[in-house]
Amino acid sequence: MFDILMYLFENYIHNESEIFVEESVLTDELLKAGFNSPEIYKALDWLEQLAQLQYSDESPYLDRTPAAACRIYTGEESIKLDIQCQGFLLFLEQVGVINSTTREMVIDRAMALDHAQIALDDLKWVVLMVLLSVPGQEHAYAQMEDLIFDDPNPTLH
């Protein structure tokens, strides 16, 4: 499923900010690219759920978190997002790339991936997809792109 999300991100989302292709046409193209149907539907559902997170008035991710709050990960989250991933999310929040709302959206979407554990590089792509999907986060998206593409081994202070 993650490979499909990457394919969509690189070929559609990154360039146009939204997928304007009809789902059946997109599904056909993904099938021709060699992806299987169950994984395609999982990936499209993942993207749909991401869109619902940002547009829901009742979203649990509305930014109501006090500035000094500390995120405590559940047991399941700690297994899927190791200490390196958790530290990276904390770093992104501390430098202002993400806020508590986008952090929770990233965690939600990472937990929805069908991986037992999420690699740091995969988490970075999830962060990019979330930031690209949230209106008004263009500067944060650009910062995240710089972190990923400009310096392969950034120094975290």
User: Which tens digit of pLDDT belongs to each residue from 65-111?
Assistant: 556 678 999 999 999 999 999 999 999 999 999 999 899 999 999 99
pLDDT at 102: 92
Looking at per-residue pLDDT, the higher value among 149 and 39 belongs to 39
- Mean pLDDT, range 35-63, rounded to an integer: 77
Residue 113 has pLDDT above 90, yes or no: yes
Give the Cα separation of 92 and 156 in Å (integer): 10
Please provide the distance, in angstroms rounded to a whole number, between the alpha carbons at the two ends of the chain: 33
**Positive or negative: CA dihedral 48, 40, 78, 82:** negative
Q: At what angle do helices 120-133 and 37-55 cross, to 10 degrees?
A: 50
Looking at per-residue pLDDT, the higher value among 148 and 67 belongs to 148
Read off the pLDDT band of 118 (50, 70, 90). very high
Give the Cα separation of 144 and 148 in Å (integer): 6
Give the Cα separation of 40 and 23 in Å (integer): 10
Alpha-carbon distance values, 86 to 1, 5, 78, 118, 149 (Å): 22, 22, 8, 11, 20
SS3 132: helix
Give the Cα separation of 28 and 150 in Å (integer): 34
User: What are the tens digits of pLDDT across the range 31-47?
Assistant: 999 999 999 999 889 98
Both tokens of residue 16?
């146009």
Looking at per-residue pLDDT, the higher value among 110 and 55 belongs to 110
Most confident of 14-18, 52-56, 57-61, 148-152: 52-56
Residue 15 has pLDDT above 80, yes or no: no
